[in-house]
Amino acid sequence: MSLPVSNRLSAETSPYLLQHADNPVHWQPWDETSLALARAENLPILLSIGYSACHWCHVMAHESFEDAQVAGVMNRLFVNIKVDREERPDLDQIYQSAHQMLTRRSGGWPLTLFLAPDGTPFFGGTYFPKHARYGLPGFADLCERVAEAFRNRRADIEAQNSEMRRALNGTIPEAPTPGAEFDPQPLTAAGELLARGFDPSNGGFGGAPKFPHPTDLAFLLRRSDADLRQMALTTLTRMSEGGIYDQIGGGFCRYSVDERWEIPHFEKMLYDNGPLLALCADAWAQTRDLLYARVADETAAWVMREMQGADGGYFSSLDADSEGEEGKYYVWDRSEVQSLLSKEESALALRRWGFDGPPNFEGRHWHARIAGSVSPEEAPLLASARERLFAAREKRIRPGRDDKVLTSWNAMMIEGMAHASRVFEHGEWLASARRAMDFIRRTLWNGGRLLATAKDGRAHLDAYLDDHAFLLAALLELMQAEFRRDDLVFATELADTLLARFEDRDAGGFFFTAHDHEALIHRPKSGHDNATPAGNGVAAFSLQRLGHLLGEGRYLMAAERTLRLFWPHIRRSPAGFGSLLLALEEALTPPDILILRGPAESLAEWRCALGADPRRLVLALPNGIEDLPGTLAKPESDHVNAWLCRGVTCLAPTANLNDLIS
């Protein structure tokens, strides 16, 4: 065997990998051919992990990977492998953890690691410049030094690699001691921890950069303590008023570079907007504040307009950059605003969105945020101004869109759309969610196996824990918005797959990869939330709900085993365990389950009156649905009857809606 003499990325589906298909670097995908080559030639691997909307990934690509001289060094010294972290979250989890162990610093993207032929990393970092600056070495020089160390210090590297593998294995929770009883103490402690880190002026937690943390906000919105709920509401308000929210086109950006939510990192990710849409719906349900209704409406409109394909699947992300500049598509010159609008519109727009003050983006441009109030009489004029600015912005060169369809991220958006459709009684949003779910079943559910990604008619890669768990949660939400028996069948198939292919039956919990997945240097099993909820938390929460709904003990026991595995960690320090805390809460106090049966038209009226309380499951089963499981097979009648169960206690059926409205 010999080193590759060509770049092999042109056959990939990932837009990120395709961005690098013309690089002079002889990039290889992560596959057995590439890994076998490194082993056969006893060569180190240069692993570069990123994603298509990543600003600093673009910078490093332009500086180094498009440079023939730097590429020549890389091609001579390494097997160079490029990975899309969105298609391969298993690899990203492993190597981000390894990076933190190697450098004692948090990771990020681009992630740049040097691996021994067996895949164990021995040196790395994130972004490296072409020439030495920022206290970092030049990339070509770094490559030469790393390759020399691999040749001359092999014994030291192998010893370090043995320690690395032991350290990674040490991150797996140990099997729990039998007999521990769950209690609500971690729920109280988590609220106190969040309160200590809360920014009362700007909302959110900590300083800059500031991230949304939707799982923590969902936890807070469910508290009985009004002060804790207010923390979530304040955060959602400040975000909705800030520049992290696209005031002109709708949708939330990934994070804010400042503590005020004013200037975002401009990439828009599907996985943020699904949960934030649901949270805005719940915030409106609690407060009836029209701000949340507007933001929900505009965000859903953005998703359907820009992020949903003709075949139903939701796309992954929008880039932060256009024309090589971050944020160029979104920011404004004041003179441009004035030229596009009438005198009256301009005066109102400048005041409303802060364009009448100093420029807030790089000292020369303005990015819209809510800076001034608008009276009800001025609202139509502001809407007209927004429409004009939006139309003008649409003529600009757009940021790149990553149009691959990821199962897990689609599930999060389906759940958000379906939940918001219940809260606002918005049929178009439900139809959008249904189209996406139908796409997944048609394209990514293959003979009882779920796939992780699809693009241009090609679906591939075995799905992960998150894909299964998030999709199960989405189905539970869809069934409450409008019951279809096929959704229930799919939900039970997913639940059974989780238990058969992902559960650790000995210790409890779920591995991130299936039992028959490709063997890697580590097999993660984490309960911590990151930018997305922990798959173990969502699996436990959803299996509990489905178990209560169907009276299925296998699902309830799997959820309990998961909680028991992570219980010592949650008890000791609940920070970062938001999704598992929601599962713990429902393990302590199971949700109300309300089954409605009767004519479809009357059921719609009842469902509307009952609202969408996130602590209650409501299934409205129209007459005529057959082959229902025993717990749902309630008798039909010419009027609505309701069966309410709290835990294992079920009340007598009632035909009085007022009995159920709290």
Mean pLDDT value of segment 157-170: 96
Task: Give the span between the Cα atoms of 81 and 74, in whole angstroms.
Answer: 11
**Mean pLDDT value of segment 465-491:** 97
pLDDT-based confidence at 180, cuts 50/70/90? confident
Confidence of residue 1 (pLDDT cuts 50, 70, 90): low
The pLDDT-based confidence of 649 (bands split at 50, 70, 90) is confident
* DSSP assigned state of 443: I
> Is residue 24 scored above 70 in pLDDT?
yes
Nearest Cα neighbor of 557 from 631, 503, 617 is 503
The residue type at 517: H
Superfamily classification of domain 9-169: Glutaredoxin (3.40.30.10)
The pLDDT assigned to 218 comes to 97
Architecture of the domain defined by 185-320+402-588: Alpha/alpha barrel (1.50)
Tokens 């196996």 sit on residue: 449
Per-residue pLDDT, averaged over 246-262, amounts to: 98
Greatest distance between any 2 Cα atoms in the chain: 83
Residue 648 has pLDDT above 90, yes or no: no
Q: Give the per-residue pLDDT at 284.
A: 98
Report in angstroms the alpha-carbon separations of 59 from 254, 326, 397, 562: 18, 11, 19, 41
Say yes or no to pLDDT of 624 above 70.
yes
Mean pLDDT for all residues in the chain: 96
Token pair for 519: 């063997």
Name residue 237's amino acid. Answer: T
- Encode pLDDT of 54-91 as tens digits: 989 999 999 999 999 999 999 999 999 999 999 999 99
The predicted pLDDT at position 4 comes to 74
21 against 135, higher pLDDT? 21
- DSSP E strands, 425-572: 445-446, 449-455, 458-462
Which amino acid type is present at position 27? Answer: W
E-state strands within 282-416 = 317-318, 321-322, 325-326, 401-402, 405-406
In the predicted model, what is the mean pLDDT of residues 16-29? 98
- Per-residue pLDDT at 347 exceeds 80: yes
In this predicted structure, what is the pLDDT of residue 662?
63
pLDDT band at 42 (very low <50, low <70, confident <90, very high): very high
Percentage of the chain modeled with pLDDT above 70: 100
Q: Which residue, among 315, 343, 542, 531, has the nearest Cα to 439 in the 3D structure?
A: 315
pTM for the predicted model, two decimal places = 0.97
Distance CA(83)–CA(28), nearest Å, equals 9
Contact 328, 400 (CB under 8 A): no
Kindly report, residue by residue over 455-473, the tens digit of the pLDDT.
999 999 999 999 999 999 9
Which of 481, 479, 416 lies closest to 280, judged by CA?
A: 416
Structure tokens at 167: 């350290």
What would the pLDDT profile of 499-527 be if each residue is shown by its tens digit? 999 999 999 999 999 999 999 999 999 99
Query: Taking the domains of the chain in order of start, what are their residue ranges?
Result: 9-169, 185-320+402-588, 330-395, 592-659
- Kindly report which listed range (207-211, 367-371, 604-608) carries the lowest average pLDDT score: 604-608
Give mean pLDDT, residues 296-325. Answer: 97
3-state secondary structure of 445: strand
Res 352 pLDDT > 70: yes
What pLDDT is recorded for position 650?
83
Query: What would the pLDDT profile of 423-438 be if each residue is shown by its tens digit?
Result: 999 999 999 999 999 9
